[in-house]
Structure 1
Amino acid sequence: MYVYKCFLIVSKLSENRCMWFDTFMTFTENLVYTFARISVMITKHMASFHHFIVIGISYKKTDSYTRSQFQLSADAICDLYQKAALFGNAGLLVLSTCNRTELYAYNISAEWLLEQWQHIVQNNVTVLNENIYHYAGKVACSHLLRVASGLDSQILGDREIVDQVKQALSLSKSFNATNVFMERLVNIALQCSKRVKNETQLSDGTTSVAYAIVKYLKNNAPNNATKLLLLGFGSFGKSIAKNILTYMPHLDLSICNRTLDKVEDFSQYNSITPIPWEQRYQSVNDADIVIGAIGGGYQLNTDNIKTCKQRLFLDASIPSIIDKGLNKLVGQYVVDVDIISNILTESLQTRVTAVPKAITIVEATIQAFERWLLEYEQMKCIRTFKKYVLSISSKNAVGSYLFKSQIDSNINQIASKLALKIKNAPAYKGCHLLHAINEVIIF
């Protein structure tokens, strides 16, 4: 009725009926197109979810040695972001930790991601294909929220993953390799993680990998051990150092890092000895306990390690920096990150009871993200409609203010009908959309 009324006004006020008929037809076609797009979105119920995928490997199917073969170096990650940025309206997030390597993508195919990953690992393609998992759509979104909340961590409720997700998003943005969908989803995942931490006991207690190392040392360190060497001083290494100083202050802690400035700054406020990277083997041979916390694929050369004394190696690095072959040498014992993580099982009972509530929070957050995504897609349709309406209701297009006033009145009526259609949609009761529609389309 509103479109027909608009047509009558156009016809009566126009001296050139053909021109106004063409204008009316353009208006009508775009109005119908807008209704059709919104109807399709509601019927398909969030089809945009299907453009989001994740492929990866994790501790659930692979041990630390296998995972280390597929971890992506900093250079490889940057190269992936550069390539992803060329896709245009696409998004990529690379999460590479000691427990998992995952590639989250929007508008990028799983085949392309797998091809790039295979090219990087080269000789290990068969093993990668056997252990990789692939999620899409809502399942992939839920997986990201579970990861960020600590529900999918090897140590349940581990909080270190939150900073790793933030850093991954920041790096992706620096290469323009993200988009509206990806940024919104990651930010919602971080908000979900905060809710889980504040509203449940999923992260209660000291059960981080850094604390697990301390707990292992208390039970298994050689009785006469006094000298401890920490290799690596990133965020993880720093966490280990703080735990050692807090819970085992009797040990003489030395820290060796490829960048010594950070260690020297730390030594100003803590009782530790900074060791230049060039002196690492001398320090390893002098130590009773060696903890590896270095990324980037570096590995100690076993030929430079002397076996004149009993020594315990704790390898918390992915890829591993300490060759397990050292176990074959007299007095040398190597423990990897999987063994370290397993010793925390007894401390996790409280966290396990918090899992159902944490899952409920994740599910509620996904539903909120669904509502936002539907609104976002609808608003894009309405903005497109507004663009066409503005073009035909301008003074130059209609030839008189009288016509503009009358067509504006009809457009407002059409907007009301559009809002009513959305409100009565079966998928959502979209009352919260009405204010936004008024701002966008009624002028």
Structure 2
Amino acid sequence: MNLLVLGVNHETAPLSVRERLAFSPTELQTLLPGLVAQPGVTEAAIISTCNRTELYCNARDPHALLEWYAASRGRKAEDLNHYLYVHAGPDAAKHTFRVAAGLDSMVLGETQILGQLKDAERQARESGSLGVLLNGLFQRAFQVAKDVRTQTRIGSASVSMAAAGVKLAERIFPSVSECNVLFVGAGEMIELCATYFCAEKPKKMAVANRTLARGELLAQQHGGEAILLTDIADRLHEFDIVVSSTASPLPVIGKGMIERALKQRKRRPIFIVDLAVPRDVEPEAAELADVYLYTVDDLSEVVRQGVSARQGEVVAAEALISDHVSEFNHWLASRELVPTIRDLRDHADRAARAELAKAKKRLAAGDDPAEVLEKLTLQLSAKFLHAPLASLNAADGDDQTALVTAARRLFRLHDEE
């Protein structure tokens, strides 16, 4: 088993790069089978969020993964090297556990990444690309996250992207309660943002989504209205705050759309938080006067405030992770023995059955049972000892010394001395 993690995240690449290297949910459904079809790749799972895209694989060659990843994004492998990291074996397990526990996130201790990892595991399982290695890795990662959450206070002061968005909005407007808020999309991130923003009791709230039914479910929870994405151009001027996070591969809010809204607003400012990767709002919109456009990377300063108060908990969390990595390595080593143990059992079983069949024939022929049992015992002993004795006799020098030591340990000969 060869555990590899290859990826890019907010520490290694800017948003402009991450959005070009991300996968959409639809893509993952079709790409996973193709990834495990690559030579040397037997298991695979992919996580793709606003802050990271990572490939978790049971694979022999990291370069082959890089080539596949680059090709899937329409890039050359050499163009990605500067932004990518690769972890193998125990380092890959440690990285996975840190990700699950929120220690590798832009927001230290955040919990949303755990749900995203569970989605990646489920998608891999449903596509048939999840095997023994990755199943064992993810199940232990989920346990690590639970232990870190319950045994440390790493997330007690966590500032989420949604909470950071509220803080930034209140730098532009006196209070969110005096604003009209538009949420674009109806996924998990927008649900979280709606919870935070609507807790401030805005004057009006609306959800724009591709399908009206999904938007209505979220809007009803917070006493708002639902509109279609196609309605945004006509309604954008009504809203002071816009929070967007869709899975669209192209921007859903253009610079021209915002310019028209500003004219209707008589230059009253618009605060926009674009949490999507790829981005939902054309970056050029930030050049407009009276537009305050923030992306996930722009929020990093806000979300990192208060991290120092949690650094003491990081040490405790890292210690828990180290213990789990050791346990995972022990499990992995035991899994490596399975084929050998199975072959040994099969070999012994075949030998025993062959000699038992001979013994039954002799008994059926009328031979003395005591002689048959004695012969059976001698034959079984000879069969079981033939291969190891032959190997000992054929070896010389250091090889023979090593085999003697192994044989005495395997057969516990020292216990009989």
**Structure-2-length-normalised TM-score:** 0.81
**Could you tell me which amino acid in structure 2 is paired with residue 163 of structure 1?**
G
C-alpha separation between the residues in 1 aligned to 2:328 and 2:411? 18
CA deviation after TM superposition for structure 1 residue 163, in Å? 0.5
Q: SS at the partner of 1:335? A: strand
**8 A Cα contact 1:85 1:175, kept in partner:** no
Correspondence for 1:338:
297
**8 A Cα contact 2:67 2:77, kept in partner:** no
% identical aligned pairs: 23
Is the counterpart of residue 205 in structure 1 residue 164 in structure 2?
Answer: no
C-alpha separation between the residues in 2 aligned to 1:277 and 1:132? 34
Q: SS at the partner of 1:131? A: coil
**Structure-1-length-normalised TM-score:** 0.77
Q: SS at the partner of 1:354? A: helix
**Could you tell me which amino acid in structure 2 is paired with residue 378 of structure 1?**
L
CA deviation after TM superposition for structure 1 residue 359, in Å? 0.7
**8 A Cα contact 1:54 1:103, kept in partner:** yes
Correspondence for 1:69:
20
> Aligned pair count?
372
C-alpha separation between the residues in 2 aligned to 1:413 and 1:70? 58
Is the counterpart of residue 328 in structure 1 residue 328 in structure 2?
Answer: no
Correspondence for 1:52:
3
CA deviation after TM superposition for structure 1 residue 201, in Å? 1.0
Which sections of structure 2, spanning at least 5 residues, go unmatched? Answer: 361-372, 387-404, 413-417
Is the counterpart of residue 385 in structure 1 residue 344 in structure 2?
Answer: yes
Is the counterpart of residue 86 in structure 1 residue 37 in structure 2?
Answer: yes
Q: Which runs of structure 2 are paired with 1:21-420 in the superposition (5 Å)?
A: 48=1, 51-86=2-37, 90-122=42-74, 127-221=79-173, 226-246=179-199, 248-299=200-251, 300-305=253-258, 306=260, 307-308=262-263, 309=265, 310-394=269-353, 398-400=357-359, 402=373
CA deviation after TM superposition for structure 1 residue 173, in Å? 1.1
**Could you tell me which amino acid in structure 2 is paired with residue 304 of structure 1?**
M
Correspondence for 2:396:
none
**8 A Cα contact 2:356 2:376, kept in partner:** no
C-alpha separation between the residues in 1 aligned to 2:232 and 2:376? 80
Compared CA separation, residues 353 and 280, structure 1 to 2 (3 A):
same
**8 A Cα contact 1:392 1:398, kept in partner:** no
**8 A Cα contact 1:295 1:317, kept in partner:** yes
CA deviation after TM superposition for structure 1 residue 400, in Å? 0.7
CA deviation after TM superposition for structure 1 residue 158, in Å? 1.1
Greater relative contact order (Cα 8 A, min sep 6): structure 1 or 2?
A: 1
Compared CA separation, residues 391 and 151, structure 1 to 2 (3 A):
same
CA deviation after TM superposition for structure 1 residue 53, in Å? 1.3
CA deviation after TM superposition for structure 1 residue 404, in Å? 5.2
Q: Which region of structure 1 is more displaced relative to structure 2, 397-406 or 374-383?
A: 397-406
Superposed CA deviations along residues 345-390 of structure 1, whole A, max 9, x for unmatched, are 3322332211111111111001101111222222331111111111
Correspondence for 2:400:
none
Q: Which region of structure 1 is more displaced relative to structure 2, 86-95 or 267-276?
A: 86-95
CA deviation after TM superposition for structure 1 residue 108, in Å? 4.7
CA deviation after TM superposition for structure 1 residue 85, in Å? 3.4
